[in-house]
């Protein structure tokens, strides 16, 4: 028997992501009759997604009901599940700040800057509203920074937060394709913290599959890198960067780890030539060309959706064929609502799941989820080299960012800049910090860290 739920999607203007949730929901019989409240501050994008979502369910003959609102409190009333996919300021603010950082001497931008202040503000605001308006709801966090954001939300509120990332699944998919394996017959575990997870279990048809990986590296990798880089994709998992880190740390990094582990392995990211060496002819996903390719694809996807929304004769299911995605969001809701135990990979407070990490640090580990909630599985300790070279430095960086946000002390920003190898001197770090705080979209951040008061005092 189906169990109808009420789902609130915050940042629903993220069109492709929201329609992916709608598609999975329509294809999940156990959640028939559910209602979805779409919320965004961009009225035009919100209206487009609302029209597409409503038509999608109608085309499939599914009784999923949709509402739209610009008001977050309205969206959260009565919610059983909340999905937060919002990016504060969007890519426009992010790219404007990145351009400033590059001008100041930081190739591809400053690691500390990754929308931490803006996203912390937004995430905590959403979590506190959930705690006040729908305290029994699960908050599924999908927008970055999942690791830092889920840690601060679970420390500062009592909300049931589950952070989700599809990166590891993409990594396994790429490994299966390159090694010629059937993905459905692979079993794996990759514990760690988000964007820093390590393949500790890799089995194919019940047998240890690491020898298959080793054989590919020794006999086929060089030829693959020379001949098989796809012109319209940016491969990460089977890149020279991942293989280098496999040799360096002793475990294979999974998913976004090799590209996201920065500044811990900054030497892989130092300039475009280095990126080309480790991620192929165009420098990988995070190069100028790779990232622009991603932004262009987003724009093209939105344009296609807008055209479909404006054309009443267009079939939305032709754009988004009714096939389940690999995202975990809807399966988790089905597992909780219908008490169907499932195996998932989630970001939740550690509480003993991964040895050597504090209980209140969010880790990415396998978990069983059903009507009783989330039960992380206990993992073996990660090797010392991985802990000291990757996990602990990443935890310290997160703790600095959270401490800076909570205290409003600009010395934490300075500290992060001084940890960046591209910072030439203390004076350079101070110059960069002042420039970032003077960037108009960062006005609230500047006020939070006391820069506006300092400027007014100087005048």
Question: What would the pLDDT profile of 23-55 be if each residue is shown by its tens digit?
Answer: 999 999 999 999 999 999 999 999 999 999 999
Annotated catalytic residue, options 40, 80, 256, 334: 256
Residue 133: per-residue pLDDT:
98
Based on the number of CB atoms within 10 Å of its own CB, is 219 exposed (0-12), middle (13-18) or buried (19 or more)?
exposed
- Which are the contacts of 196, defined by CB distance < 8 A and separation ≥ 6? 147, 253, 257, 260, 261, 264, 390, 391, 394
* Segment 199-210 mean pLDDT: 98
* Segment 417-441 mean pLDDT: 94
Based on the number of CB atoms within 10 Å of its own CB, is 101 exposed (0-12), middle (13-18) or buried (19 or more)?
buried
* Segment 120-148 mean pLDDT: 97
pLDDT at 454 > cutoff 70? no
- Between CA 287 and CA 290 the distance in angstroms is 5
Mean residue pLDDT across the chain:
93
Catalytic status, residue 80 = no
Q: At 347, phi and psi to the nearest 5?
A: -110, 110
Higher pLDDT, 186 or 297: 186
Confidence label for 137 from pLDDT (cuts 50, 70 and 90): very high
Alpha helices in 143-255 (DSSP H): 146-156, 167-179, 210-219, 221-227, 240-249
Give per-residue pLDDT as tens, 67-77: 999 999 999 99
Catalytic status, residue 428 = no
On the question of a cis peptide bond just before residue 263, with omega within 30 degrees of 0, the verdict is yes
Residue 267: per-residue pLDDT:
86
pLDDT at 11 > cutoff 70? yes
Q: Please identify which residue in the block is written with the tokens 């001497």.
A: 105
Residue of 397, 361, 395, 414 lying closest to 152 (CA atoms)? 361
Residue 457: per-residue pLDDT:
47
* Segment 246-268 mean pLDDT: 90
Report residue 92 as tokens: 């426009």
pLDDT at 295 > cutoff 60? yes
* Segment 349-375 mean pLDDT: 98
* Segment 153-163 mean pLDDT: 98
Q: At 135, phi and psi to the nearest 5?
A: -60, -20
Residue 232: per-residue pLDDT:
54
* Segment 244-258 mean pLDDT: 96
* Segment 119-145 mean pLDDT: 97
Confidence label for 89 from pLDDT (cuts 50, 70 and 90): confident
pLDDT at 114 > cutoff 70? no
pLDDT at 230 > cutoff 80? no
**In the chain, what are the domain boundaries?**
6-166+301-335, 169-186+204-290, 384-446
* Segment 185-193 mean pLDDT: 98
Confidence label for 264 from pLDDT (cuts 50, 70 and 90): confident
Report residue 2 as tokens: 């189906």
- Which are the contacts of 291, defined by CB distance < 8 A and separation ≥ 6? 108, 285
CATH, domain 6-166+301-335, list 3.40.30.10, 3.90.1820.10, 3.40.470.10, 3.30.2000.10 = 3.90.1820.10
pLDDT at 163 > cutoff 60? yes
Q: Give the pairing type, strands 192-193 and 196-199.
A: antiparallel
pLDDT at 456 > cutoff 60? no
Distances (CA, A) of 392 to 268, 356, 364, 388, 395: 19, 9, 14, 6, 5
pLDDT at 115 > cutoff 60? no
Confidence label for 430 from pLDDT (cuts 50, 70 and 90): very high
Please give the share of the chain, as a percent, with pLDDT higher than 90: 79
pLDDT at 455 > cutoff 60? no
CB-based burial, 410-445: b 16+ in 10 Å, e otherwise: bebbbbbbebbebbeeeeebebbbeebbebeebeeb
Confidence label for 61 from pLDDT (cuts 50, 70 and 90): very high
* Segment 268-290 mean pLDDT: 88
Q: Is the dihedral of CA 413, 417, 419, 425 positive or negative?
A: negative
Give per-residue pLDDT as tens, 302-360: 898 899 999 999 999 998 899 999 899 999 999 999 999 999 999 999 999 999 999 99
pLDDT at 3 > cutoff 90? yes
Reported in sequence order, the residue ranges of 40-195 that DSSP labels E, i.e. its strands, are: 65-69, 81-84, 138-141, 160-163, 186-189, 192-193
Residue 112: per-residue pLDDT:
58
Residue 297: per-residue pLDDT:
87
CB contact at 8 A, 12 and 318: no
Distances (CA, A) of 391 to 153, 199, 260, 319: 20, 14, 12, 40
| pTM across the whole model | 0.95
Distances (CA, A) of 169 to 145, 294, 326, 335, 428: 18, 19, 8, 19, 40
Strand (E) or helix (H) holding 38: strand 35-39
Annotated catalytic residue, options 42, 91, 166, 370: 166
Strand (E) or helix (H) holding 10: strand 6-10
Q: Is the dihedral of CA 170, 171, 177, 183 positive or negative?
A: negative
């Amino acid at each position: 028997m189906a169990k109808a739920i009420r789902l609130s999607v915050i940042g629903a203007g993220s069109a492709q992501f929201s329609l992916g949730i709608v598609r999975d929901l329509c294809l999940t019989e156990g959640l028939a009759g559910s209602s979805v409240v779409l919320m965004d501050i961009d009225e035009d994008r919100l209206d487009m997604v609302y029209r597409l979502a409503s038509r999608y369910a109608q085309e499939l003959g599914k009784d999923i009901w949709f509402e739209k609102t610009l008001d977050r409190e309205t969206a959260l009333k009565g919610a059983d599940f909340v999905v937060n996919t919002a990016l504060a300021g969007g890519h426009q603010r992010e790219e404007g700040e990145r351009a400033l950082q590059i001008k100041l001497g930081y190739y591809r931008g400053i690691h500390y800057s990754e929308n931490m202040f803006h996203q912390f503000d937004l995430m905590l605001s959403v979590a506190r509203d959930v705690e006040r308006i729908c305290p029994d709801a699960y908050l599924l966090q999908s927008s970055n920074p999942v690791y830092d954001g889920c840690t601060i939300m679970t420390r500062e509120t009592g909300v049931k937060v589950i952070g989700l990332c599809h990166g590891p699944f993409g990594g396994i998919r790429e490994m299966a394709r390159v090694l010629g394996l059937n993905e459905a017959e692979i079993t794996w575990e990759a514990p760690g913290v988000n964007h820093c997870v390590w393949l500790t279990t890799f089995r194919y048809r019940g047998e240890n599959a690491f020898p298959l990986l080793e054989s590919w590296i020794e006999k086929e990798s060089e030829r693959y890198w020379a001949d098989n880089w796809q012109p319209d994709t940016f491969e990460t998992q089977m890149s020279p960067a991942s293989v280098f880190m496999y040799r360096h740390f002793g475990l294979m990094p999974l998913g976004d780890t090799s590209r996201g582990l920065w500044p811990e392995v900054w030497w892989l990211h130092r300039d475009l030539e280095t990126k080309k060496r480790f991620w192929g002819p165009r420098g990988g996903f995070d190069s100028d060309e790779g990232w622009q390719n991603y932004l262009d694809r987003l724009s093209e996807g939105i344009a296609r959706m807008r055209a479909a929304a404006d054309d009443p004769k267009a079939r939305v299911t032709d754009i988004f064929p009714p096939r389940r995605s690999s995202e975990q969001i809807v399966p988790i809701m089905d597992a909780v609502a219908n008490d169907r135990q499932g195996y998932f990979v989630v970001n939740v407070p550690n509480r003993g799941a991964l040895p050597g990490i504090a209980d209140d640090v969010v880790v990415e580990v396998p978990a069983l989820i059903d009507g009783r909630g989330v039960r992380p599985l206990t993992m073996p300790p990660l090797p010392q080299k991985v802990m000291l070279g990757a996990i602990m430095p990443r935890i310290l960086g997160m703790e600095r960012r959270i401490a800076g946000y909570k205290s409003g002390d600009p010395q934490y920003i300075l500290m992060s800049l001084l940890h960046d190898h591209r910072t030439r001197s203390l004076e350079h770090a101070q110059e960069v910090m002042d420039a970032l705080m003077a960037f108009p979209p960062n006005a609230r951040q500047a006020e939070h860290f006391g820069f506006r008061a300092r400027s007014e005092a100087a005048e």
